[in-house]
């Protein structure tokens, strides 16, 4: 007598209930990715350190980005992280942990990825061992000093926003005659000739060297050429400008052209009160100490050898 195999009976459908269609996976077809869990391509690439969101959107307009072999034509496209993405024919790796570097920018370099006029950029001079990075803020051609680099576009954007309130400090050498009272007028804000208005700027006259003055400047907005234009409004001509601090990070004794990474624990502790946690490296978990089980070992003392002298006493 052969064994009888029964197939499971399908449950009866209720009146008015439609028949359930088989899923693409059950029919041998690959299911479409669930795009509701994806994120916009510009945000994804910014977090990967490719460029800022605006620059990425410009790249999309120039047809410089490919996703799985297709040229991307809209910034509304979403990715899940499993796609093969090319930016200017260079593959994009998945975003790593957030990292930030201090860089002492020399004068004469452009703070962009490429320059239409063919001038040297900071990325031409950075060490080749450095991963793909973008700048936090910018410095113009002749401005030198502290420039922060990061591999995370979200962090760069968060640190640049005026509402974050990060101070920028500069050392300016300016030609002309000026008094501290005149510099103090910048504290109330100023509107220059082209209509641009700057918020409060703190400027302190440090010393005079002939017809030049060394001035310490502190501001929070960081608009384009703000220090130069504000001092020119007072009749000064800036001939050297050095940024010495951006937020909690200082230039210190970093030599021109040198790059130094900020330790993750320092990055987290100094930015946690102003920057959302999603843009910061995760805190390091403290290693759990295993409880040691003390096993009392029996120590066998070596037996004392009897000498001839001992035998005489026996």
Look at the chain and report how many structural domains it folds into: 3
Domain around 58: 35-91
Strands 144-150 and 237-246: parallel
166 near 247, Cβ under 8 Å? yes
- Looking at residue 27, the DSSP 8-state letter turns out to be T
Choose among 27, 53, 31: nearest CA to 41.
Answer: 53
Query: Computed from CA positions of residues 64, 67, 68, 70, in that sequence, does the dihedral angle turn out positive or negative?
Result: negative
The pLDDT mean for the chain works out to: 82
124 and 193 share a domain? no
Tokens of 17: 């209930």
* DSSP SS3 for 105: strand
Catalytic position from the list 124, 140, 152, 253: 140
Query: Does 61 lie in the same domain as 195?
Result: no
Contact indicator for 111, 122 with CB cutoff of 8 Å = yes
Asked whether residue 303 is domain-assigned, the answer is: no
What letters, b where the CB count within 10 A reaches 16 and e where it falls short, cover 267-276?
bbeebeeebe
Residue 308 lies in a domain: no
pLDDT at 215 over 50: yes
Let me know whether 172 and 242 are in one domain: yes
124 is catalytic: no
Based on the domain organization, do 107 and 155 belong to the same domain?
yes
- The Cα-based distances of 286 to 277, 283, 289 in angstroms read 19, 9, 9
For range 11-25, the mean pLDDT: 53
Q: pLDDT of 164-190, one tens digit each?
A: 889 999 999 999 999 999 999 999 999
123: phi then psi, degrees, rounded to nearest 5: -75, -15
> Residue 78 belongs to a domain with what CATH number?
3.10.290.10
What span, in angstroms and rounded, lies between the C-alpha atoms of 36 and 78?
9
Quick check: is 86 in a domain?
yes
| 266 and 151 part of one domain | yes
Q: Which residues contact residue 217 at a Cβ distance below 8 angstroms, ignoring those fewer than 6 apart?
A: 169, 170, 171, 172, 201, 202, 203, 204, 227, 231
User: Do 73 and 203 fall within a single domain?
Assistant: no
Instruction: Read off the pLDDT of residues 217-264 as tens digits, 9 standing for 90 and up.
Output: 999 888 889 999 999 999 999 999 999 999 999 999 999 999 999 999
């Amino acid at each position: 007598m052969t064994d009888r195999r029964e197939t499971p009976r399908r449950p009866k459908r209720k009146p008015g209930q439609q028949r359930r269609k088989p899923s693409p996976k059950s029919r041998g077809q690959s299911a479409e990715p669930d795009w509701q869990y994806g994120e916009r391509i510009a945000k994804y690439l910014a977090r990967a350190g490719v460029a800022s969101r605006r620059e990425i959107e410009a790249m999309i307009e120039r047809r410089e980005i490919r996703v799985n072999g297709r040229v991307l034509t809209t910034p509304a496209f979403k990715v899940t992280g499993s796609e093969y993405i090319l930016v200017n024919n260079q593959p994009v790796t998945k975003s790593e942990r957030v990292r930030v570097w201090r860089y002492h920018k020399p004068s004469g370099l452009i703070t962009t990825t490429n320059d239409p006029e063919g001038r040297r950029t900071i990325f031409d001079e950075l060490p080749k061992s450095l991963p793909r990075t973008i700048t936090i803020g910018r410095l113009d051609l002749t401005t030198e000093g502290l420039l922060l680099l990061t591999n995370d576009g979200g962090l760069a954007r968060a640190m640049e926003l005026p509402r974050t309130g990060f101070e920028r400090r500069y050392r300016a050498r300016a030609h002309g005659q000026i008094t501290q009272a005149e510099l103090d007028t910048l504290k109330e804000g100023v509107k220059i000739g082209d209509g641009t208005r700057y918020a409060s700027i703190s400027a302190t006259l440090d010393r005079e060297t002939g017809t030049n003055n060394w001035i310490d400047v502190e501001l929070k907005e960081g608009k384009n050429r703000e220090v130069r234009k504000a001092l020119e409004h007072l009749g000064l001509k800036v001939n050297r400008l050095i940024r010495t601090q951006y937020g909690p990070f200082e230039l210190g004794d970093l030599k021109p052209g040198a790059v130094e990474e900020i330790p993750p624990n320092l990055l987290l502790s100094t930015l946690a009160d102003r920057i959302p946690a999603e843009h910061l490296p995760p805190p390091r978990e403290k290693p759990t100490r295993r409880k040691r089980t003390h096993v009392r070992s029996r120590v066998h003392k070596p037996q004392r050898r009897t000498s001839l002298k001992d035998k005489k006493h026996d």
